[in-house]
Homo-oligomer: A and B are copies of this chain.
Amino acid sequence: MQQNLRIPGPTPIPPAVAEAMARPMINHRGPEFAAIIARVSEGLQHFFQTTQPVLGFPSSGSGAMEAAIVNSFSPGDEVLSVTCGAFGNRLAKIAETFGLKVTRHAVEWGHAADPEAVAQALAAIPNARGVLLTHNETSTGITNDIQALARVIRQRRPDALILVDVVSSLGCIDLRMDEWDLDVVFTGSQKGWMVPPGLAMIGVSQRAWAATERATLPRSYWDFRAARKSLEKGQTPYTPPVSIYFGLDVSLPMMRAEGRDAIFARHLAGGTLVRERARTMGLRLFADPAFASNTVTAIDVPEGVDGKALTKAMRENEGVVIAGGQEHLEGRIIRIGHLGYFSEADLTACMDALERQLTALGHRVPTGAAGA
């Protein structure tokens, strides 16, 4: 059975990208790869909305988090970490692991960060060298208003570094690195980019470049300076994940052809479709509707239904793979991914399947819900 993969990453791969993934290997120090990396970098800059070089690291998104921290700070540096869920917590924990003094501004799961509350939290840390933000919190399905958050942070701390996890949002939801004055912005290939996992991509502002020179945390693999120096020669400091670059060299032109605004509109429509169908089935959305994510929707498992049985039934009976909840939300929510390569039909098929399996597990769907 061909699966309908509806988790928030890895995401489905278009046929042309799959074909590219199977291409014969080439020399990563030769002219062919140099041409690919030049095209890919230019495409990434378009979607990061930056004129800065975008660095690639063979890594998952969690590696990008570590890279952002060790290039930006020194042990003892104070940072404010705004956490809205599991991935915000992960970034804060990495900062603590590397000896930063982290003040957590913890937002209740399912909610977005309030700019004024963040401004107040920042006021209590006069020496804050940076603020750690999550654009789209994959564990809860909310999208923070990064533009508003960055504005209040920048007003109060002109020199602080603003690090933003955009792993599950970039290329799907509008984010303007340069215009919003963000400093380190990082994503992973398996999300909006329509290629398999294996490459982390990081945008670094001029302010952050200056910080990398001052930062004293030891770094080798993640060294931004080495990556930039190599990129200027059309290379990487060590062997890159060549197949992922082949994939991006196909997916980025597809994305350019669709158009940045059209992609954002498709994700808005996808998120809207899933949320509407969930409500019609009598389900409650986990996330604050005002900040509902257009790449992943978290839905409360209705009372009387076993959340793990539901994801299993979806997979085994319908061929639809959805995600469960993380940490304390395990078994309590389901999460449906709608990012990267998807069509309305994929989402409708997913929600139809959800309705059937919920009914089979005893949930009473309001009459006439399907397709309502």
Contacts and interface: CB of A to CB of B under 8 A. Distances in A.
A218 B63 contact: no
A182 interface: no
A24 B13 contact: yes
Contacts of A219: 97
A199 B158 CA distance: 40
A17 B98 CA distance: 39
A243 to B, nearest CB: 4
A58 B240 CA distance: 11
B197 A240 contact: yes
Contact of A218 (B22, B23, B98): B98
A63 B78 CA distance: 28
Contact of A13 (B9, B11, B25, B27): B25
A271 interface: no
A10 B22 contact: no
Contact of A21 (B5, B220, B238, B243): B243
Interface in A1-60: 2-3, 5, 7, 9-13, 18-19, 21-30, 58-60
A273 to B, nearest CB: 22
Contact of A5 (B25, B188, B218): B25
A274 to B, nearest CB: 18
B197 A66 contact: no
A287 interface: no
A62 interface: yes
Q: From DSSP, what is the main secondary structure of chain A's interface residues?
A: loop
A66 B220 contact: yes
Interface residues of A, number: 54
A70 to B, nearest CB: 9
A55 to B, nearest CB: 14
A198 interface: yes
A99 interface: yes
A287 B221 CA distance: 29
A166 interface: no
Given A25-B11, A218-B99, A321-B27, A241 B196 contact: yes
B10 A239 contact: yes
A368 B242 CA distance: 40
A315 interface: yes
Interface string A171-212: 000000000000000001010000011100000000000000
Nearest to A315: B30
B11 A94 contact: no
Nearest to A194: B25
A221 B59 contact: yes
Given A3-B26, A60-B240, 10 more contacts: A7-B29, A30-B315, A59-B221, A60-B239, A63-B221, A65-B220, A99-B218, A190-B239, A196-B242, A197-B240
25 contacts: A3-B24, A5-B24, A9-B239, A10-B25, A10-B27, A10-B28, A10-B242, A12-B24, A19-B22, A58-B198, A59-B59, A59-B221, A60-B239, A61-B238, A61-B239, A63-B221, A93-B220, A94-B220, A190-B239, A196-B243, A197-B239, A197-B241, A198-B241, A198-B243, A198-B244
